Structure 1
Amino acid sequence: MKKTAILVFLLFLGSFISAQSITFSQDQIDYGTIKKNSDGNQIFKFTNTGDKPLIISNVKSSCDCSVPSWTRTPILPGKSGEINVKYNTKNLGKFSKSIEVFSNDPKISRKLLKIKGEVQ
């Protein structure tokens, strides 16, 4: 009887512990030195390492010079998605920008990604 009660308790507790979880392959991309008007696209890849669907609700850039787009459908457990960032390479000079990712991950509901480089 005691073992059954412990097992029921652990199963009950496990239902609260399980959740969606976002894991990025990298949280910063260095463009290096790139030429003016070159391709400014880079991709941040992520995986749902949890056991419930992951939803990216919004992605914001720190400026209008970098435009993010992302996987808008729920990411099932074990599956991957992408956040594409297009930096405007018409602007000369060094840059360091942040991309803010909002998701339903209970531990990391807001993740900050960074891009940097120099346009010559």
Structure 2
Amino acid sequence: MKKALVLALSLACAGFAAQAQSASVKPANAQTKVAGPQIQFDEMKYDFGSAKQGEVVKHVFKFKNVGTQPLVISNIGVSCGCTTPEWTKEPVMPGKTGTITANFNTAGKMGIQNKVLTIESNSANGNAMVSVVGEVKEATAMASDKVESAELSEKAKMKSEDNKLKVKAKKS
């Protein structure tokens, strides 16, 4: 009786294992086509590094409609009035691309910045968000950074020339 039960359990386990192996496995990066439009960005965040106060940082975010129907962006909300968006107004057909341009005016801003744009569209995956990040420095601070950098370069150049003279003196 025990042997029959063990045999039955073994056969059942073997059957499940065989079925699991024959099931099709999709690669992790495989995309399934979504019914309807679907927005997909090349990049979700743009880091501008540093900019001096008063400059306008401009970046173009590219996106693709990876869905099956036309994608329409109805509005783009911004986290601050200092950021103004421009975007592709006509419907983006399946497989085609569009752009969103973010213009960030750094006037009156200082320090680390993170400006978020919320893209409202008919995308099956809902609203999307992209951001522009970086540091805004005082215009005079940027100028003094350049002066310090130039002074360091000059010191390095003088040290290099001094080392060359020492080497020449040793050879003589």
TM-score range, shorter chain: 0.7 to 0.9
Instruction: Name the structure 2 match of 1:93.
Output: 111
Give per-residue Cα distances to partners, 1:30-73, cap 9 Å, x unaligned: 11112233341111110011121000111010110111111110
Instruction: Answer 1 or 2: higher relative contact order, Cα 8 Å, separation at least 6.
Output: 1
The RMSD of aligned alpha carbons is 1.3
Instruction: Name the structure 2 match of 1:12.
Output: none
- Which of 123, 130, 133 matches 1:105? 123
Instruction: Name the structure 2 match of 1:69.
Output: 86
Equivalent runs, 1:39-54 vs 2, <5 Å: 39-54=56-71
Is the aligned partner of 1:19 residue 2:36? yes
Is the aligned partner of 1:34 residue 2:48? no
> Over alpha carbons, which structure has the higher Rg?
2
Is the aligned partner of 1:117 residue 2:134? yes
Q: Find the aligned partners of 1:39 and 1:67 in 2 and give their Cα distance.
A: 10
Q: Which amino acid aligns with 1:45?
A: K
Q: Give the 4+ runs in structure 1 shifted more than 6 A.
A: none
| 1:89 Cα offset (Å) | 2.0
Q: Find the aligned partners of 1:81 and 1:118 in 2 and give their Cα distance.
A: 28
Q: Higher helix fraction: Structure 1 or Structure 2?
A: 2
Alignment gaps of 5+ in structure 2: 1-33, 138-172
Q: Find the aligned partners of 1:39 and 1:57 in 2 and give their Cα distance.
A: 25
Q: Find the aligned partners of 1:50 and 1:94 in 2 and give their Cα distance.
A: 36
TM-score w.r.t. the length of structure 1 is: 0.79
Q: Higher strand fraction: Structure 1 or Structure 2?
A: 1
Give per-residue Cα distances to partners, 1:8-45, cap 9 Å, x unaligned: xxxxxxxxx52111100011111111223334111111
Instruction: Name the structure 2 match of 1:8.
Output: none
TM-score w.r.t. the length of structure 2 is: 0.56
Q: Find the aligned partners of 1:98 and 1:89 in 2 and give their Cα distance.
A: 14
